[in-house]
A and B are shown apart, each in its own frame.
Chain A
Amino acid sequence: MIARSLTDKGRYWILILPALAIMLTFYIWPLVEIFGISFSEPKPGFENYVSMFDSRPIRTSFVITFRVAAITTIWCLVLGYIVSYAIYNTAPRYVGLMIALVLLPFWLSVLIRSFAWIVLLGRSGVVNDSLGAVGLINEPLPLMHNEFGVILSMVHVMLPFAILPIMANMKGISRAYVDAARGLGASELRAFVSVYFPQTLPGVLSAALLVFVLALGFYITPALLGGGRVLMISEYITYQIQELLNWGVGTSLSVALLLATAAVILAAGRFVNLRRTLLERR
């Protein structure tokens, strides 16, 4: 009865109300509390933020975070582009299989994948043991407990996030343009650089944004493979709260990370269609 008296719009609101309530209670409200704590513990004021900017390890940790995220993004774009290109432009028969292989790692938790890398990259891990057995190296290579290991594993985890937007973009590109360029006498390379690549740029930019933003908040992989010296902000937050019970600094770091991420997204908004990238993906 009541429902009938409502407009369509009203009915939609009732439908999303449970989801909205859950978001408000379990996501928005705790977030507001986080903001609150960052300004009130141990005493009210901006003290946490001031000490955050004064602290050299925190500054370094931010630099490490952005550097690792940036390098991860670049590698993901390069590799992701090649994979997507291969999927749509080489063997059409295997498109389904290749997409399945891209998606497969999604079903494994990041934790498991990081542990798998530990097994591979350790001093007595699979890679070092094999290289040693063939006689290519005398001493095990330092493959993990450093930035190399962290980035390698992060690229692995993030690759599908780069591939999917690029692939979606490539799917909509007609072969006809490249064929026309070739027909007009452009070389294979020229046709790619001047005709094909510019059309894939929106996909590349959305992939870049997605990977970079997700990489900024990465926790498990650097914690497991960084050996303590690739201290990204998320890990630093855990450390402040769990080890030092320093909720003031921990929460203000969270707020800073959130703001930094928001800034990245806003800046990217000038180049990327955010609505398409973040809201209507896949």
Chain B
Amino acid sequence: MSGDSFKFGQDDIAFKQDLGDIALERYRAGKIDRRSALAMLGALGLVPLLGDKALANAKELVLVNWGGKAKDVLQEIMGDTYAKEAGIKVVVDGAGPSAGKIRAMVESGAVVWDVCDSGPGSAIILGERGITQPIDYSIVDKANIIEPFTWEFGCANYFYSYTLCCNPTMLEAVPQNWADVWNVKDFPGKRTFRKSVRGMLEPAAMAMGAAPSEVYEFLGDEAGIKAAIEKFREIREHIIVWPSGSMSQQLFLQKEVAIGCIWSTRAHLLKDEMPDGSFTTTFNQGVLSPGAWVVPKHNPAGTEQAMRFIAHTADPELQVKWLEAMGPGPANPAAAALVPDDLKAWNPSSPENRATQTVYNDAWYAKNQVWAEELYVDALIN
């Protein structure tokens, strides 16, 4: 009745859907090759998902992501290239493979998905419950995925971050870290934070002096969480929240906010949309978050085919294309060097940028999100 009863495995669905919206904007801006009208209709949900499902058979590989235009980007960059290489048709389905849906599919015995764009939290819980297959690391080379983002039942497919962004034209000085963001006296102006608590308490903890590597230790007990929450109460008068990725972008575009903690994929768009010199991002003290490929049990195309596809997606050149198209950071450590110079600063997973970030901790959210969420809302409205 409640959709995903799989709370622990719940990844940030909102982000994944947002990636779809981002691709759509890029398409409008002419940065993504023209696709057929049918693909557009698919992105709008006008082509029934059943169409994709009905087609599923062993002669093709069904790749599932979160829809929107990201579906077409994935098809073009990863799907079509694999089809050429392996001689198997790749169909991208934008149905949104939440942990609950994958479980329902596997338990009903009618599996039509081969490879799913999930997250580490779901990957772990789905694997533990015997719903997904272990990644075959004899086919998927661990060296092609940034350490330590390989798990028994999933491996990283791309990265995104919560980053500190600002509009220097609205400020006298550019904030360098979260402590600056909380310093409303020297850095006056509105700030935007996410409406949900995800990715937000980490900056507050770092503003109080926790090093990126110690953030979750700081937030490890009730006192730490409450302190981070109080940090938000302190500056609540200066906060406008963003309920969606596109909203965070709008707030910067309309100069409603001077500073913000937003997704790096949205920052990737803003850097091109804002006038020169009026938008900067730093990955200093960012919160790095990976997506993950998972393979449901009894997938129609077979284990080997799915693993080969995953190995294919780790190709560094394709990963760079992905970054150029819509902003997710490459999962392959070899890709960072291939990123064009003007994009290097915007790559959330480059070694330089990773070094200064903390890594989003799914286990922490599984344990604390619900009650932290309530405190967070309270801090913003009370």
Contact = CB atoms under 8 A, between A and B. Distances in A.
Contacts of B60: none
B237 to A, nearest CB: 8
B38 interface: no
Contacts of A118: 254
Nearest to A56: B378
Nearest to B198: A243
A202 interface: no
Contacts of B370: 244, 246
Contacts of A55: 374
B324 interface: no
A99 to B, nearest CB: 36
A50 B9 CA distance: 27
Given A243-B196, A246-B370, A228 B240 contact: yes
Contacts of B1: 37, 41, 247
Contact of A228 (B3, B243, B369): B243
Contacts of A228: 195, 239-241, 243, 380
Interface residues on B, range: 20 to 34
A227 B240 contact: yes
B16 interface: no
Contacts of B382: 56-57, 60
Contact of A231 (B2, B4, B373, B381): B381
Interface string B180-205: 00000000001000011000000000
B236 A245 contact: no
Interface string A47-79: 000000001110011001000000000000000
A66 to B, nearest CB: 14
Nearest to A61: B381
Contact of B239 (A229, A231, A246): A229
Contacts of A156: none
Interface in B233-249: 236, 239-241, 243
A140 to B, nearest CB: 9
A57 B2 contact: no
A229 B235 CA distance: 12
A247 B256 CA distance: 33
Contacts of B377: 57, 231, 236, 239
Given A57-B378, A229-B239, A245 B4 contact: yes
B3 A245 contact: yes
Nearest to B98: A245
Interface in B340-382: 369-370, 373-374, 377-378, 380-382
B10 interface: yes
B102 to A, nearest CB: 16
Interface in A103-128: 118, 122-125
B260 to A, nearest CB: 13
Nearest to B6: A245
A243 to B, nearest CB: 5
A244 B254 contact: no
A155 interface: no
A57 B381 contact: yes
Nearest to A243: B196
Nearest to A145: B240
Contact of A245 (B2, B195, B240): B2
A41 B5 CA distance: 11
A37 B196 CA distance: 24
A183 B369 CA distance: 72
Contacts of A37: 1-2
Interface in B1-28: 1-4, 7, 10, 14
Residue among A236, A245, A246 facing the most chain B CB atoms (10 A cut-off): A245
Residue among B10, B14, B378 facing the most chain A CB atoms (10 A cut-off): B378
A124 B255 contact: yes
Nearest to B4: A245
B195 A239 contact: yes
Contacts of A246: 370
Contacts of B196: 243
Contacts of B3: 245, 247
A241 B14 CA distance: 13
A60 B381 CA distance: 7
B239 A243 contact: no
B354 to A, nearest CB: 28
Interface in A200-236: 223, 227-231, 236
B126 to A, nearest CB: 17
A118 B236 CA distance: 21
Interface string A35-48: 00100010000000
A123 B381 contact: no
Nearest to B188: A139
Contacts of A64: 381
Contacts of B240: 145, 227-228
A41 to B, nearest CB: 6
B174 to A, nearest CB: 19
Nearest to A124: B255
A205 to B, nearest CB: 31
Contacts of B190: 123, 145
Nearest to B193: A228
Contacts of A223: 243
Interface in B251-269: 254-256
Interface in B209-239: 236, 239
Given A229-B381, A245-B4, A57 B241 contact: no
Minimum-distance CB pairs A-B, first 4: A228-B241, A57-B378, A227-B240, A247-B2
9 contacts: A41-B2, A57-B374, A61-B381, A122-B256, A145-B256, A228-B195, A228-B241, A230-B381, A245-B3
Given A123-B254, A245-B3, 17 more contacts: A37-B1, A37-B2, A57-B374, A57-B377, A57-B381, A60-B381, A123-B256, A125-B254, A145-B256, A228-B241, A228-B380, A230-B381, A231-B381, A243-B196, A243-B373, A244-B373, A245-B4
